[in-house]
Chain A
Amino acid sequence: MEQNEKIKWSQFTILVTLFTIGTSVLLAPTLVAQEAKQDAWIVTIIGVILGYPLLFLYNKIASSFAGRDFFTYVTDLLGTWPGKIISLLLFIYCVFLSSLLIRQVAHFAVTQSFVETPKEAIISFFVLIVIVGGRYGIETLARTGEILFPWVFFLLFILLIALIPELKTERLFPMFEEGVKPLFLGTFVYMGIPYFELFLFLILIPYIKQTGKTEKTGKAFYIGMTLGGIVLIIITLYALLTLGAEATARNQFPSYVMAKTISIANIIERIESFLAAIWFVTIFMKSALTFYCSTLCLANVFNLKDKKFLMVPLGFVLVFLTEYITPNIAHFSEFVLNTWTLYTGTYAILLPLLLITVAAFKKRNERRVKHAQEGKN
Chain B
Amino acid sequence: MFWKIVGVILLALLIGLLEVPNLWRNNLKKELWVFLFLLSIGLGLGIARSINLDLPSPLNVITTIYKPISDVIFNSLK
Contacts and interface: CB of A to CB of B under 8 A. Distances in A.
Contacts of A304: 30-31, 34
Given A312-B19, A317-B45, A298 B34 contact: yes
Interface string B16-57: 001100110000101100110011011101101100000101
A317 B35 CA distance: 11
Interface string A35-70: 000000000000000000000000000000000000
Given A305-B28, A316-B15, A338 B74 contact: yes
A312 B42 CA distance: 10
B58 to A, nearest CB: 7
B62 A343 contact: yes
Contacts of B18: 312
Interface residues of B, number: 35
A323 B45 CA distance: 9
Given A342-B66, A343-B66, A313 B74 contact: no
A313 B63 contact: no
A324 B23 contact: no
B66 to A, nearest CB: 4
Contacts of B57: 324-327, 331
Contacts of B67: 339
Contacts of B34: 298, 302, 304, 310
Contact of B19 (A181, A302, A309): A309
A177 interface: no
Contacts of B38: 310, 313-314, 316-317
A324 B49 contact: yes
Nearest to A317: B42
Contacts of A343: 62, 66
A202 interface: no
B10 interface: no
B12 interface: yes
A143 B25 CA distance: 33
A173 interface: no
B35 A310 contact: yes
Which 3 pairs between the two chains have the least Cβ-Cβ distance? Answer: A320-B45, A316-B42, A313-B38
Interface of B: 11-12, 15, 18-19, 22-23, 28, 30-31, 34-35, 38-39, 41-43, 45-46, 48-49, 55, 57-59, 62-63, 66-67, 69-70, 73-74, 77-78
Given A324-B49, A325-B59, 12 more contacts: A181-B77, A184-B77, A185-B74, A185-B78, A303-B30, A312-B18, A316-B43, A317-B38, A317-B41, A320-B45, A324-B45, A338-B70
